[in-house]
Amino acid sequence: MGTSLALALREHDIDVQLSDVRAENVDTAVSLGAGRPGPEGAPGLVVVAVPPSAVSETVVAALREWPEAIVTDLSSVKSEPGRAVAESDGAARYAGSHPMAGSERSGPLAASGQLFEGRAWAVTPGSSSGRRAVEVVHELARLAGAAAIEMDAAEHDQAVALVSHLPHLLSVLAASQLHDAPSAYLELAGPGLRDVTRVAGSDTWLWQQILSGNAEPVRSRLESVRDELDALIAALGSNPAAVGNALTRGKSGTELIPGKHGGTATASVFVQVPDRPGSLSTLMTHAKDSGINVEDFRIEHGLDRPIGIAEMMVPEERADALVDVLANLGWSVYR
């Protein structure tokens, strides 16, 4: 993530100096055009991009080493570094950051200057943070192409416990249950299981550190889930109305997640796609010629058949038109 940010800043011709405990990582990042080896002179901004467990000490050391520099970090938990910094000299020059971006791969070879484009970027000033530090971190997010959202560190950690760490752990719990199943059971798996368990496939070392760093907010969320789970277990088979209420509460919860385009209703159109190079391209060309904007798109492959089933999400009022256009062009299409 550090190399990705360096690449993004280099696109604005900002002088970026790179340092890493592993010298070969610096060599790789330099060869990618992410900047030059450092440090040399006095930096204006130090961005700490290290594993979660090393963030606090590295930020504190940076504030001490460069007494004029603004310092931020990119870690996914913010209260702990915030507390460590508040007790150290130069706390006014620190404001935390958390870009909501990343891929399953890590290290400089996985870097991209576009990683942050269009993503949210939490900016988390502490009570000691000076105005200048907060402004510089907002500017950093802007230069990287991200949308800054300012909140304090405790709020941030509550927020990521809710929107990231909790769903991650529920995904893990769903996937964990698959171990004792006969393989025929898994052949009945559909897109629902794949959706729910996808994030459980992420890097476990990194997630272990993230969860250690945010243990209390996550525990509190998990306890709240356990209460609802207990109620669900008690209601199953005996109180269908209570089960229905739980389902309704979940469904209305999904409607609170911000929509892609300010919440306009979308509808799904399903199309059969032969599983060979070019089929998707032809389908997309046909959709393009219809003038209907495909807002979201997924493809699922069929069992035992060389076809995929594409799901195209389009504005509700255009879905029937897209079905007509594609059907007339010979596609097997349905809503």
Task: Output 89 or 332, the one with its CB closest to its own copies.
Answer: 332
Does the footprint of its own copies cover residue 332 (CB under 8 A)? yes
Q: Provide the angle, in degrees to the nearest 10, between the axes of the packed helices 55-65 and 79-86.
A: 40
The torsion angles phi and psi of 173, rounded to 5 degrees, stand at: -65, -40
Cβ atoms of 119 and 99 within 8 Å: the answer is yes
Does the footprint of its own copies cover residue 268 (CB under 8 A)? yes
Task: Output 89 or 139, the one with its CB closest to its own copies.
Answer: 139
The tokens of 166 are what? 């909790």
The torsion angles phi and psi of 148, rounded to 5 degrees, stand at: -75, 135
Does the footprint of its own copies cover residue 24 (CB under 8 A)? no
Task: Tell me which stretch binds its own copies (CB under 8 A): 15-23, 79-87, 123-131, 233-241.
Answer: 233-241
Task: Rule CB under 8 A: choose which of 36, 64, 83, 198 binds its own copies.
Answer: 198
Measured from the CB of residue 243, what is the shortest distance to its own copies in angstroms? Answer: 6
Task: Output 42 or 181, the one with its CB closest to its own copies.
Answer: 181
Measured from the CB of residue 49, what is the shortest distance to its own copies in angstroms? Answer: 16
Does the footprint of its own copies cover residue 272 (CB under 8 A)? yes
Measured from the CB of residue 46, what is the shortest distance to its own copies in angstroms? Answer: 24
Q: Scan residues 134-193 and list those touching its own copies (CB under 8 A).
A: 145-147, 149, 151, 155-156, 158-160, 162-164, 166-179, 181-190, 192-193
Task: Rule CB under 8 A: choose which of 199, 315, 321, 329 binds its own copies.
Answer: 199
Task: Rule CB under 8 A: choose which of 21, 40, 223, 265 binds its own copies.
Answer: 223
Does the footprint of its own copies cover residue 280 (CB under 8 A)? yes
Other C-beta atoms within 10 Å of 282: how many? 13
Strand-pairing partners, residue 40, are: none
The tokens of 317 are what? 């009022």
The size of the interface with its own copies (CB under 8 A), counted in residues, is 140
The tokens of 52 are what? 């979660």
Q: How far apart are the first and last CA of the chain?
A: 40
Task: Output 40 or 251, the one with its CB closest to its own copies.
Answer: 251
Q: Which amino acid, residue 289?
A: D
Q: Enumerate helices (H) and strands (E) in the chain, giving the number of each.
A: 14, 11
Q: Scan residues 34-73 and list those touching its own copies (CB under 8 A).
A: none
CA-CA distance, 278 to 133, in Å (whole number)? 50
Helix, coil or strand: residue 137: helix
Q: Scan residues 79-118 and list those touching its own copies (CB under 8 A).
A: 100, 103-105, 110-112, 114-115, 117-118
The tokens of 208 are what? 């272990």
Task: Tell me which stretch binds its own copies (CB under 8 A): 23-31, 35-43, 62-70, 267-275.
Answer: 267-275
Task: Output 46 or 169, the one with its CB closest to its own copies.
Answer: 169
User: CA nearest 62: which of 78, 43, 79?
Assistant: 43
Q: Provide the angle, in degrees to the nearest 10, between the axes of the packed helices 319-328 and 279-289.
A: 120
Measured from the CB of residue 266, what is the shortest distance to its own copies in angstroms? Answer: 11
CA-CA distance, 267 to 314, in Å (whole number)? 6
Does the footprint of its own copies cover residue 266 (CB under 8 A)? no
The torsion angles phi and psi of 139, rounded to 5 degrees, stand at: -65, -40
Task: Output 93 or 318, the one with its CB closest to its own copies.
Answer: 318
Does the footprint of its own copies cover residue 265 (CB under 8 A)? no
